[in-house]
Amino acid sequence: MDLKIKPKSEAVPLTMGNSDNPISLTLIIFTTMSFVLSMSGMVFNGILDKVAVSLNISVADAGLLNTMYAYGAAFGVPITLIVFRKIERIRMLKIMLLITILMTLALVLAQNFMPLLVIRLIMGVSANSYNVLAISTVVSLSSKERQGRSMAFLIMGSALALVIGVPLTRALSSVLDWRNIFWILNIIMLVSLIYFQLYLPVSDHEATKLNMKTELKYFKDSKIFLILIYSLTMFVGLGALNTYLTPYLLILFPSVETKMSLILVLLGVASFIGNMIGGHVSDHLGYAKSLLLGAVLQAATVLMMLLFQPVWWLSVLFALLWLMSAWFTGLQLNTGIAQATQNKSSFMISINSSAIQLGSAIGSSLAAIVISLSEIQNIIFITLLTALLITVIQLFSIKKT
């Protein structure tokens, strides 16, 4: 896959060649940005206690920095794409990245907690708007037979943030303040923006601009509608179990506390592997069959977690396989939306991303209620139910088509 790039002054519609080389410099930059923005969203997870101390607030209040980011991602992205629908896609991508850079700068300079919450809300909107536009751009840069692998390579940045970034942040927290971490991320974003400005060609705006009448018609497409329902349902289950997976394992098996750092790394590796396998399977089977396979794998692995709940090493093993299958499946969702709309709707990708964020929020909230009313090991029933539901949804979707 060899991207035909010309300087800005010679910008042409986005096309891809058929070179044997599957990775272009532009795709590497997009993947690097995926890593950086995932780190921007998740970095507080690994050092929440350190952030609380530095800001002189409680850990619960520090968690609001993640909550505000999620709200921005869930509700702000579709609104942003509607309001700025007349701006060409690549230009809009650069604008959203610039806003994210400015908000990150404001984040490291802010001294009070309330402004930090507002900044994180805006970052949630701008960073996730960029992510939506990056997905549609990468799809447009790829030939159809390589779109799954290109998406996998893009999302690999997020997986690497889990494998390397968050654990490394925790390890370096005694040396680097959280603000220093954001300084480093901001420098990488600035370099990427300069590259995009110089070398990323302008797309065909007429083919990609937002037309609300056309966008509303997509909701009537059963394939697209069912993908959105699938996304919302799947991430309710993912949000319920993944949010509390560490305390789930520690409460069930206190002895694994000494192994938890290794388990966290293995969870990141499982995410990375699931994502990469998902890209290849998507290109060979198509996103629809891959979604069904992913749903079945999630249901099977969660069921195994439930059956072998008393055995710590089997619980950990099936947790790893479950997370691998979840990342395998997650890749197919945006690929499916992009292909079902012929990559003409960044708005529908944003709706899908909002469904994912909303599902995660609902799932973690349901899990919190279950934990308060019973025991933490019962949250697995939420994930098992949603895995069975998405299997039924996808069987119905395939039968309908």
Q: Classify residue 272: in a domain, yes or no.
A: yes
258 and 328 both lie in a single domain: yes
* Domain of 221, in residue numbers: 214-400
Output the pLDDT for position 323.
94
200 and 225 both lie in a single domain: no
Please, what is the Cα angle at 106 between 40 and 66, to 5 degrees?
A: 35
Helix axes 113-141, 312-340, angle to 10 degrees: 60
pLDDT exceeds 50 at position 273 = yes
Report residue 209 as tokens. Answer: 């601009």
pLDDT digits (tens, 9 = 90+) for 40-49: 887 776 566 6
Q: Classify residue 116: in a domain, yes or no.
A: yes
392 and 252 both lie in a single domain: yes
Q: Classify residue 2: in a domain, yes or no.
A: no
Asked whether the whole model's pTM tops 0.75, one would answer no
CATH of the domain at 296: 1.20.1250.20
Least confidently predicted of 46-60, 124-138, 141-155, 233-247: 46-60
159 and 223 both lie in a single domain: no
237 and 204 both lie in a single domain: no
Number of domains in the chain: 2
pLDDT exceeds 80 at position 267 = yes
80 and 220 both lie in a single domain: no
Examine the fold and report which residue of 208, 237, 269 is the final residue of a domain before the chain moves on.
208
3-state SS, residue 3: strand
pLDDT digits (tens, 9 = 90+) for 176-185: 888 898 999 9
pLDDT digits (tens, 9 = 90+) for 52-89: 778 888 755 776 787 788 788 888 888 888 888 888 88
Q: DSSP letter string over 114-125?
A: HHHHHHHHHHHH
Least confidently predicted of 114-118, 125-129, 283-287, 301-305: 283-287
Output the pLDDT for position 177.
83
pLDDT exceeds 90 at position 229 = yes
pLDDT tier at 237, thresholds 50, 70, 90: very high
Q: DSSP letter string over 192-222?
A: HHHHHHHHPPP--HHHHS--HHHHHHHTT-H
Q: Classify residue 157: in a domain, yes or no.
A: yes
193 and 307 both lie in a single domain: no
188 and 298 both lie in a single domain: no
pLDDT exceeds 80 at position 141 = no
pLDDT exceeds 60 at position 34 = yes
Q: Which residue has the higher pLDDT, 371 or 304?
A: 304
pLDDT tier at 125, thresholds 50, 70, 90: very high
Examine the fold and report which residue of 183, 208, 233 is the final residue of a domain before the chain moves on.
208
175 and 71 both lie in a single domain: yes
Report residue 70 as tokens. Answer: 């999620």
The alpha helices in 18-176, defined as continuous H runs, are 25-46, 48-55, 59-62, 64-71, 77-83, 89-109, 113-141, 147-160, 166-172
Q: Classify residue 1: in a domain, yes or no.
A: no
Distance, CA of 185 to CA of 153 (rounded, Å): 20
Output the pLDDT for position 187.
96
Distance, CA of 210 to CA of 213 (rounded, Å): 9
Average pLDDT in the 221-240 region?
A: 92
Q: C-alpha distances in angstroms, 316 versus 100, 138, 302, 383?
A: 37, 35, 11, 16
Examine the fold and report which residue of 157, 191, 208 is the final residue of a domain before the chain moves on.
208
Question: Residue 23, class by beta-carbon neighbours within 10 Å (0-12 exposed, 13-18 middle, 19+ buried)?
Answer: middle
Residues 6+ positions from 217 with CB-CB distance below 8 Å: none
Q: Classify residue 239: in a domain, yes or no.
A: yes
219 and 200 both lie in a single domain: no
3-state SS, residue 16: strand
Q: Classify residue 374: in a domain, yes or no.
A: yes
Q: Classify residue 15: in a domain, yes or no.
A: yes
284 and 179 both lie in a single domain: no
Report residue 29 as tokens. Answer: 């930059």
65 and 153 both lie in a single domain: yes
